[in-house]
Amino acid sequence: MPQETGNFKSRIFGGFDRRDVIGYIEELAAERNALQRENEELREKLDENREALPPSAEDHSNYNEYVADSLEQYKQQTREILSEAKESLLDLWEKYDSLCADLKVNVTQAQGELDNMEVLLGSLLDSMESVGLRLKELSNSICDIDSDGDEGEETQNATDI
């Protein structure tokens, strides 16, 4: 049956062969159903692709407006980030200044304590030297007494003889 051309066999009493016409209609219906399924699948894909687009892209009628809006959003976000960074930096500077001031106070106090320790250690050294001199004098005195006592015994021993 030459269905592609739409030609049908004619019947003896007129008209077309019923089976050919029904077959052709069934083929057209099958093609139509296949095309409808394909059309529905393509519509679903189109909807999915539309959903995948950024929302702002659908709102703009042309690409230049979309790009300009995106650029403005980028600039605004950059300004916000820079503002937050500046605030954080100012906080860090305040903490740094506070730590430096505390360190200077601590260094000054430590220097004062070191100066006091230097004076005390100098005084301790002087006292130790003084004690050392007294020990030396005492030691000499003991030696002198001891040597005087030894000579006296020798003298007594000599007179006894």
Closest to 28 in 3D by CA, of 16, 20, 17: 20
Task: Single out the residue in 27, 52, 77 at which a domain terminates.
Answer: 52
- What is the rounded CA–CA span in Å between residue 21 and residue 27? 10
Residues 70 and 120 in one domain: yes
Across 93-113, average pLDDT: 92
Summarised one tens digit per residue, pLDDT across range 71-82 is 999 999 999 999
Closest to 6 in 3D by CA, of 32, 28, 33: 28
> By percentage, how much of the chain surpasses pLDDT 70?
78
Residues 149 and 113 in one domain: yes
Residues 19 and 48 in one domain: yes
Across 100-128, average pLDDT: 92
Return the structure tokens found at 121. 């250690």
Return the structure tokens found at 53. 């687009």
Instruction: Provide the mean pLDDT of the chain.
Output: 82
Is residue 27 a contact partner of residue 34, using CB atoms and an 8 Å limit? Answer: no
Cα→Cα distances 108→10, 16, 119, Å: 121, 118, 17
Instruction: State yes or no: pLDDT of 146 exceeds 70.
Output: yes
Residue 31's domain spans which residues? 1-52
Residues 83 and 149 in one domain: yes
Cα→Cα distances 91→26, 88, 105, Å: 80, 5, 21
Residues 46 and 77 in one domain: no
Task: Single out the residue in 52, 70, 93 at which a domain terminates.
Answer: 52
